[in-house]
Amino acid sequence: MTLSRSLGIAVLSLAILGAAPAIAQERVVPSSLNQLRLSYAPIVQHVQPAVVNVYAAKVVQNRNPFLDDPIFRRFFGVPGGQQEQMQRSLGSGVLVDSSGLVVTNNHVIEGADQVKVSLADKREFEAEIVLKDSRTDLAVLRIKGSHEKFPTLDLANSDELQVGDVVLAVGNPFGVGQTVTHGIVSALARTQVGITDYQFFIQTDAAINPGNSGGALTDMSGKLVGLNTAIFSRSGGSQGIGFAIPANMVRVVVASAKSGGKAVRRPWLGARLQAVTPEIAETLGIARPSGALVANVTPGSPAARAGFKLSDLVVSIDGQTVEDPNAFDYRFATRPLGGTAQIDVMRAGKTVRLSVPLEVAPDTGRDEIELKSRSPFQGARVANISPALADELRLDSNVEGVVMIDVPESALASNVGFQKGDIITGVNGKAITKTSDLERATSEQARLWRITLIRAGQRINVTLGG
């Protein structure tokens, strides 16, 4: 083949490639004035009245170290001690019940002494916190002092969302007032975000900024598909990666609030699942690392009664594929209580279907106490490990010990280094199996404290001075 012939073929190929977009991208002139007026305005007009601004305030102690110096105080003529300061936060929320129930993010109102809700029509109301759920980063408020029927948004089935669907984000970014942005669903089932216990988020490129937290993410029918929760940003502003909690999870939390509960009621499996690594996948003889491997089964739990076995590979729940433990946790947590879930597992190369009852974890025998005796544990709140507490804190319910459920920053236990979720199993050579054991051990004076604890599955031995 000659050089001129080769160049001729190349030029022809380029001409064909260059012509392809013009053929595929057909331009159409609008045939009517109505086509020029296509707009999201009707959807926005339906959604906006149900989206509110949430203002939270709490009193914090602002301690200035210079005020502890009597010479400084005398010289400058200022009083000593701590000064109180009002700390405020701003977010958004969505009315989900005409009686005045508002769902928002837990981090918006966390620690608040006062909460106010501002409607789209500028009216402002005091609100009370009905329910908080740190595991999902959701909270439910109730508007006080009004008997009117408020506009609401219906919750969509977020499992029906598809990548590429158009969505609207409504909230109060940067406190500038109610704002609407639009975009598409850019990803589903995001599980490596690190915001809540239930890692399963809708990702969108609709502009979401600080202040949007708790606002609505809606579909083109005006239904709530998600609650805007977080952004990925290097600058603090929107960079086209926002995350929303799916409406199906919001539905579970709202249902618990409507029933009068102070905590979210969700199904308990009673089995610990772990991710499938490439090495585990090779050992199991599966093509790719997917599913959730059963690593532990609590005796007497729903999983045990259903027939779960160690090394079972969970692959689906009620016909929905399970890619990893986070996906399973979300799917299982959004199942309604009282029925059963059909879970498929791979066992010895065969698929086995197990019927798991959907019931809450028993929460008896916690015996919560605050440790007040002078010891490294002073100020901490501890409890016996009930199945419900083990599920809430992601603990191995088979471990014997006492778990720390609250370690206030002002407590001596916090200064020493104890953390929420630490399991105390031994103090000064004595086994700790219940709260009364720990209370008795801390009431005894000691110059040295030899403590055995479990943190994040690791057993740690520490020695502290008395």
Residues with catalytic function: 107, 137, 213
Distance (Å, whole) CA 394 – CA 377: 22
Is 39 annotated as ligand-binding?
no
Contacts 24+ apart (CB under 8 A), 427-433: 427/451, 427/452, 431/400, 432/401, 432/402, 433/400, 433/401, 433/402
User: ∠ CA 157-159-161 to the nearest 5 degrees?
Assistant: 90
Continuous segment of H or E residues that includes residue 11: helix 3-24
Spacing of C-alpha 161 from chain mean position: 19
Distance (Å, whole) CA 437 – CA 426: 9
Is 291 annotated as ligand-binding?
no
Spacing of C-alpha 25 from chain mean position: 42
CA atoms within 13 A on the CB side of 413: 23
Residues 6+ apart with CB under 8 A from 412: 375, 376, 377, 378, 379
Distance (Å, whole) CA 202 – CA 183: 12
Query: Where are the extended beta strands (E) located within 2-144?
Result: 51-62, 83-97, 101-105, 114-118, 124-133, 138-143
Residue 68: strand, helix, or coil: helix
Could you give the residue ranges of the DSSP H alpha helices within 216-299?
247-258, 278-284
Q: Are 244 and 226 in contact (CB under 8 A)?
A: yes
Place of tokens 């609505």: 216
Is 137 annotated as ligand-binding?
yes
Is 46 annotated as ligand-binding?
no
Distance (Å, whole) CA 245 – CA 139: 12
Distance (Å, whole) CA 295 – CA 277: 13
* DSSP helix, strand, coil percent of the chain (3-state; round to 5): 25, 35, 40
Phi-psi region of 367 (alpha: psi -120 to 50; beta: other; left: phi over 0): left
Closest CA to 178 of 90, 240, 67, 79: 90
Is 34 annotated as ligand-binding?
no
The total of other beta-carbon atoms located within 10 Å of residue 33's CB is 7
Distance (Å, whole) CA 268 – CA 246: 20
- In this structure, what are the phi and psi dihedrals at residue 115, rounded to the nearest 5 degrees? -130, 135
Known binding residues are 107, 137, 211-213
Known binding residues for substrate are 107, 137, 211-213
